[in-house]
């Protein structure tokens, strides 16, 4: 028994080593940096929790928190509605269903930065495809300023993210749909359940764990959003689309306030952990309670 215990630790040792080297040690270093005035060039000074107190008087940080939470609340249900609709359409053996799945999944293969650059050109009021289609159909006569307001910039970024990630979430939800035995749906129909009742009382409960995974990935990705706002909106207009990660990046690599950026990173980590814990409690299985 003693020998088997050591063998178990031996097998998990590489994973533990990687976790310590690439997660726990960097996390401890970030925590240590957050307690210092740590410029990239210059003298490092201990300042205690001054970086954390400074957040309370940082209007852009507070605005970035509000914007990040608003963005996560807006994009997550949108992705789920679109992905669920696509999964329901892609479920089954209908004609061209394979092509349908492939076309919607293709944007997933594009990097988020590449997709953001692509949408910058598509949203260009002079040479973009959206403006060209609008002029061709006679809907507009002048250039369209897609990113001239915070609302328009938010809609543009959300549209790109939905286009980019809906196919991936469609595949996740499709796996959950296809794992449900068809006999259960048939039994529900025999009992008089309509399409909505079948979906609500049979499909959704049996997809609980799939929904949990998709929701976790969507919310975590939303809280860590950076590329789309850095490339498409540049944080504008008037700092209206600066996410928490964007503000961390600005402090670390533009203002060279790495100590303050480290403190911001730990606050963001706490937000992600709280969001993950809330999801775990919300979707906890009865047998786990």
pLDDT tens for 207-216 read 888 888 888 8
In the chain, helix, strand, coil percent, each to 5? 75, 0, 25
pLDDT of 141: 65
pLDDT band at 12 (very low <50, low <70, confident <90, very high): confident
- The closest of 174, 170, 189, 165 to 92, measured between CA atoms, is 174
255 or 40: which leads in pLDDT: 255
Report, as an integer, the average pLDDT of 242-256: 91
Q: Is 40 helix (H, G, I), strand (E, B) or coil?
A: coil
pLDDT of 7: 76
Residue 287 has pLDDT above 60, yes or no: no
Whether 172 and 210 have beta carbons less than 8 Å apart is answered as yes
Of the listed ranges 33-47, 90-104, 121-135, the one predicted with least confidence = 121-135
DSSP 106: G
pLDDT of 289: 46
User: What mean pLDDT is reported for the chain?
Assistant: 85
pLDDT of 55: 92
In sequence order, the 6+-apart residues with CB closer than 8 A to the CB of 147 are 123, 153, 156, 232, 233, 236, 237
Residue 246 has pLDDT above 60, yes or no: yes
pLDDT band at 39 (very low <50, low <70, confident <90, very high): confident
Q: What is the dihedral of CA 284, 280, 210, 105, to 10 degrees?
A: 170
Most confident of 93-102, 149-158, 260-269: 260-269
58-288 folds as MetI-like fold (1.10.3720)
Report, as an integer, the average pLDDT of 121-144: 74
pLDDT of 75: 93
pLDDT of 210: 87
Spans of all domains in the chain: 58-288
Q: Is 223 helix (H, G, I), strand (E, B) or coil?
A: helix
Whether 120 and 231 have beta carbons less than 8 Å apart is answered as yes
| pLDDT 10s digits, 145-202 | 667 767 778 888 888 999 999 999 999 999 888 888 888 878 888 878 788 888 888 8
């Amino acid at each position: 028994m003693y020998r088997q215990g050591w063998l178990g630790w031996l097998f998990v040792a590489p994973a533990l080593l990687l976790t310590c080297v690439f997660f726990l040690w960097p996390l401890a270093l970030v925590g240590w940096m957050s307690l210092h005035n740590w410029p990239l060039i210059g003298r490092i000074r201990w300042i205690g929790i001054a970086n954390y107190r400074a957040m309370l008087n940082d209007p852009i940080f507070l605005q970035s928190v509000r914007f990040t939470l608003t963005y996560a609340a807006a994009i997550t249900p949108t992705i789920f509605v679109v992905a669920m609709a696509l999964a329901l359409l892609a479920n089954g053996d209908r004609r061209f269903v394979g092509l349908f799945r492939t076309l919607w999944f293709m944007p997933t293969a594009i990097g988020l930065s590449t997709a953001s650059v692509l949408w910058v050109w598509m949203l260009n009021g002079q040479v973009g495809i959206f403006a060209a289609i609008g002029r061709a159909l006679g809907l507009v006569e002048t250039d369209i300023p897609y990113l001239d307001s915070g609302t328009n910039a938010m809609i543009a970024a959300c549209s790109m993210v939905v286009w980019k990630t809906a196919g991936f979430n469609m595949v996740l939800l499709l796996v959950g749909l296809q794992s449900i035995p068809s006999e259960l749906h048939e039994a529900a129909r025999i009992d008089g359940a309509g399409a909505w009742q079948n979906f609500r009382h049979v499909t959704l409960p049996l997809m609980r764990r799939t929904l949990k995974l998709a929701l976790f990935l969507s919310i975590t990705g939303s809280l860590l959003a950076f590329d789309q706002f850095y490339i498409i909106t540049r944080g504008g207009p008037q700092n209206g689309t600066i996410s928490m990660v964007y503000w961390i990046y600005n402090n670390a690599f533009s203002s060279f306030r790495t100590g303050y950026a480290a403190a911001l990173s730990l606050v963001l980590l706490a937000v992600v952990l709280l969001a993950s814990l809330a999801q775990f409690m919300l979707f906890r299985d009865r047998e786990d309670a």
